[in-house]
Amino acid sequence: MSALPNRHPIGDEFLLDYASGTAPEPIALAVAAHVALNPESREALSCLEAAGGALLNGLAPAAIDDASLDHVLARLDTQEPTLRPSRARVADSPLPPALRAYVPNGIDALPWRRRAGGLAEAELPCGDGRRYKVSLLRIGAGKPIPRHGHSGEELLLVLQGGFADEHGHYVRGDVCFADAAVEHRPLADSDGDCLCLAVTEGPIRLKGLLGFLLRPFLRR
């Protein structure tokens, strides 16, 4: 029953922010998508949500008006407005459920834009769009994302295929975290395209001549 070797889980601090409800939407999306694919992280999140439950129990109860319960009782039989998206069409999608609401018509219908040689990017509307950019990246088999540094945090969640950088090898469900201290050059595995969810804080800084040439295209 031992865990798979070399898994790359998301950092505990992101799980805490999700559990406590303080994560901005792009981070919450990355966490929800990741834990769907990683049972250990899901269990860690359950643990932190249980902490929320325990802290809720421990709060000094606030005063409640007697009429409060009656108001709610009177509303019990009203119908809940439901906005559940249909799942049938995307049953075989590589996207975890949390992501599907952001990709309602499937991956191929997204506005993909070619970047460097084997890289394509489709931006997803998520959050207020000011602090984070959220996108799907498709890296061609055996192709790199150009070497880049970061002005803020970057989370790459592998949804399909895999890639390797200087720090490890990442497969479906793994999270590659980078911040301002990290420079890396992810290289997709040669056996197929790699699909990733990218959540990027602030502009990324591309290195080298290729990066210089690409910069106008990667700007937000």
Partner 1 sequence: MLRLVTVADAPLDRRMPPDFTGRPTPERAAEEHVRALQAIALHGDRQAFARLFRFFAPRVRAYLMRLGSDDAAAEDLMQDVMLTVWRRAPTYDPALAGVSTWVFTIARNRRIDALRRVRQPPLDVDEPALVPAAPPLPDSAVAALQWEAKIATAIATLPPEQAQMLKLAYFDDRSHSDIAETLKLPLGTVKSRLRLAIGRLRSVFQPEESP
Would you count residue 73 as binding partner 1 (CB under 8 A)?
yes
DSSP 10: P
Distances (CA, A) of 194 to 85, 118, 148, 161, 186: 26, 10, 18, 4, 11
User: For partner 1, which is the closer residue by CB, 72 or 181?
Assistant: 72
Give the nearest distance from C-beta 194 to partner 1 in angstroms. Answer: 18
Would you count residue 119 as binding partner 1 (CB under 8 A)?
no
- Residue of 192, 187, 185, 196 whose CA lies nearest to 141: 192
Give the nearest distance from C-beta 25 to partner 1 in angstroms. Answer: 4
Say if residue 177 is exposed, middle or buried (CB neighbours under 10 Å; 0-12, 13-18, 19+): middle
Query: What would the two tokens of residue 118 be?
Result: 């084997």
Q: What is d(CA 38, CA 18) in angstroms, rounded to the nearest whole number? A: 15
Strands 154-160 and 119-123: unpaired
Give the nearest distance from C-beta 163 to partner 1 in angstroms. Answer: 19
Give the nearest distance from C-beta 186 to partner 1 in angstroms. Answer: 22
Segment contacting partner 1 by CB under 8 A, of 98-106, 155-163, 176-184, 193-201 = 98-106
Q: What is d(CA 136, CA 90) in angstroms, rounded to the nearest whole number? A: 16
Identify residues 2-61 at the interface with partner 1 (CB under 8 A): 2, 12-13, 15-22, 24-25, 28-29, 31-33, 35-39, 42-61
Give the nearest distance from C-beta 48 to partner 1 in angstroms. Answer: 7
Q: What amino acid occupies position 6?
A: N
User: For partner 1, which is the closer residue by CB, 58 or 216?
Assistant: 58
- Residue of 41, 32, 31 whose CA lies nearest to 7: 41
Would you count residue 83 as binding partner 1 (CB under 8 A)?
no
Residues of this chain that interact with partner 1 (CB under 8 A) are 1-2, 12-13, 15-22, 24-25, 28-29, 31-33, 35-39, 42-65, 68-69, 71-73, 75-76, 80, 87, 91, 93, 96-99, 101, 127-128, 173
